[in-house]
Structure 1
Amino acid sequence: MTFSVAGRNNCAVIAGEPYVYARTDEGSFVMRARCPHRGGPLHLAELAPEGNRLVCPWHERKTSLTRLRQEIPAVRSGDTVTAVFPGLPDAEVCTGHRPLSADLAG
């Protein structure tokens, strides 16, 4: 699926699960917008002081950037990113908007 890296359609929603394109000093990648712990808004997370993890704004759970970068294969071309999402060939697909924290907006 192809969607915008920023702006109005910066979020791909696959079977109800939102994904965003993030940019950090560790690299650029597509990630789930929800925290794996309790579904918090991971797209609003800040980087931990060591710089290699995201801290969920709800419960301060840390999530590895290395794991996030490897989860969804994606290629950026200009202002769009094309990502390969796991399974669900008949899943409902749409785009929307999710604000990103300053740490993820590059």
Structure 2
Amino acid sequence: MSVISFKLDEANRISSDTGGYFVKYTKQDNKYWVLPSECPHRSGPLHLGKQCRQTGAIVCPWHENRISMRCLKRNSMPVVVNRDTINIVFSDDSHKVWKEFHL
């Protein structure tokens, strides 16, 4: 098990042996989440999807499926945010963190 920490303005994508994730802030609950970046339908890139303004769901860019935040939060990574730093607990020691500007 390992804990990784990074500044919120320095990274928004994480990959590990357990899969890929992206950092998402939600206004509804005023929290940061580390959500799976693969769509459960056909593994589309959810981190490239848009958020529906009416429901808050993430719309997959491949097939336009709407994945509810409730569903994504069930599969989120444990996270603690302290000011501008995010801390994530991973079950493995192999991970990579980077910034994608289009999120």
SS at match of 1:13: strand
Alignment correspondent of 1:5: 8
Is 1:82 matched up with 2:87?
Answer: yes
Bigger share in strand: 2
Cα displacement string for residues 45-84 of structure 1 (whole angstroms, at most 9, x for unaligned residues) = 1122422311111111111102223432211112221123
Q: Which runs of 5+ in 2 are unaligned?
A: none
In 2, the alpha carbon distance for the partners of 1:38 and 1:23 equals 24
Please give the root-mean-square deviation of Cα atoms over the aligned residues, in Å: 2.2
Output the amino acid matched with 2:22: V
TM-score with structure 1 setting the length: 0.72
Matched-pair contact (CA < 8 Å) for 1:43–1:99? no
TM-score with structure 2 setting the length: 0.73
Output the amino acid matched with 1:32: P
**Which residue, 6, 16, 19 being the options, matches 1:17?**
19
